[in-house]
Amino acid sequence: MSMTIEAIRKIYTLPFFELIVEAQKTLRENFTPNSIHLSTLLNIKMGTCPENCGYCSQSVHYASNIDPYKFLSKSEILEKAQTAKQNGATRFCLAAAWRGPTNGQIDVLSDIISDIKKMGLDSCVSLGLLKSGQAEKLKSAGLDYYNHNLNTSKDHYKNIATTHTFEDRLATIKKVQDANINLCCGGILGMGETEDDRLSMLHTLAQLPTPPKSVSINLLTPMPGTPLENEPKINLLEAARLIATARILFPNSFVRLSGGRDKLNQTEQAWCYMAGINSIHFGSEYLLTEYTALPSAESDLTFLKSLGLTPLSEKACQKRCEKEC
């Protein structure tokens, strides 16, 4: 029986500490306690994107001060993948700023994905809207994950982007899941949405035929020059509630803290781990653009160690797999 928004709200509005304890219980029942999954994200094509997502400094519609670049070469990408592996990442994700890839770009990326797999890394791509047949091609190349976030609720989506719709995003998610590729999907908090919008986004995720294997939680970094440049910083307790609710709703999924982690101090990050985060993007100079510089891999690893969190591969993190694999 699928969960209603009201049932999700009941979890979200639990007394705060009850919610956090419940989220930790869920995490420990399904994953190796004190483990963390590390993924490195590389932006392989920055800026000049024709879409108008209001949070994004890579859109051509906004005068953000980024330094765009074209598609990185295969050797540059594989070199970064090697570094990610040396740093301890077990997943390597490629993101590109465009509406969606051409079939030619899918061919080039398929070749790169199979080389990333040969390095022993899980592969992930975030390539925007897919056309028919493209997901199947990526699957044949061995792609493990496709990232495509809902970002926000269906109702709020029109306030965030108008060059594509919420339904367009759902159509790409369907293509990914129909091709049997694991889905990485979540949203961005702090884009002027209401509590109802946040819960509705989780509800849409919970309605998918298969839950996302990774749920990505991003905290908005207001980018200069974008329509959301003056949005206030999100209240961390609200973010922790949302993270804990996602953890309970998706007990077997990695819940990943992605965008905005660089703007949190270590105590704030520890609260996110306490609420149920068990995966982060780490180990690159910045997440997608210069506005989102990440801590160095070394400093992240030192901090994780101080919390007693051990980086583990996806399979080693999952308790069920510990017993069955």
Using DSSP's 3-state secondary structure scheme, residue 271 falls into helix
**Binding residues with ligand SF4: total (CB under 6 A):** 8
The residue from 128, 186, 222, 311 that contacts ligand SF4 (CB under 6 A) is 128
Among residues 91, 241, 256, 261, the one annotated as catalytic is 256
Interface with ligand SF4 in residues 95-124 (CB under 6 A): 97
User: Can you say whether the dihedral through the CA atoms of 68, 71, 77, 79 is positive or negative?
Assistant: negative
The residue from 19, 27, 41, 56 that contacts ligand SF4 (CB under 6 A) is 56
- Is 184 one of the annotated active-site residues of the chain? yes
Pair 276, 23: CB distance under 8 Å: yes
The residue from 35, 39, 59, 214 that contacts ligand SF4 (CB under 6 A) is 59
Residue 257 engages ligand SF4 in binding (rule: CB under 6 A) = no
Annotate each residue in 68-97 with x if it binds ligand SF4 (CB under 6 A) or - if it does not, as one string.
Answer: -----------------------------x
Nearer to ligand SF4, 33 or 224 (CB): 224
Residue 197 engages ligand SF4 in binding (rule: CB under 6 A) = no
The residues near 6 (Cβ < 8 Å, ≥ 6 apart) are: none
Nearer to ligand SF4, 77 or 297 (CB): 77
Residue 51 engages ligand SF4 in binding (rule: CB under 6 A) = yes
Among residues 91, 124, 198, 241, the one annotated as catalytic is 124
- Is 49 one of the annotated active-site residues of the chain? yes
- Is 317 one of the annotated active-site residues of the chain? no
Tell how strand 254-257 and strand 35-45 pair up: unpaired
Among residues 91, 169, 184, 241, the one annotated as catalytic is 184
Pick the closest to residue 184 from 22, 289, 41 (CA basis).
41
d(CA 274, CA 64): 35
Beta pairing partners, 94? 42, 125
- Is 256 one of the annotated active-site residues of the chain? yes
Helices (H), the chain: 5-12, 16-30, 74-87, 103-118, 134-140, 154-160, 166-178, 195-207, 236-249, 266-274, 297-306, 314-317, 319-324
Q: CA dihedral in degrees (320, 309, 28, 238; nearest 10)?
A: -130
* Nearest approach, Cβ of residue 188 and ligand SF4 (Å): 9
Of 46-54, 204-212, 214-222, 292-300, the segment contacting ligand SF4 by CB under 6 A is: 46-54
What are residue 38's phi and psi, to 5 degrees? -115, 130
Residue 53 engages ligand SF4 in binding (rule: CB under 6 A) = yes
- Is 321 one of the annotated active-site residues of the chain? no
Residue 49 engages ligand SF4 in binding (rule: CB under 6 A) = yes
Please identify which residue in the block is written with the tokens 């949302």: 242
d(CA 153, CA 198): 6
Q: Which residues are catalytic?
A: 49, 53, 56, 93, 124, 184, 256
Q: Which residues bind ligand SF4 (CB under 6 A)?
A: 49, 51, 53, 56, 58-59, 97, 128
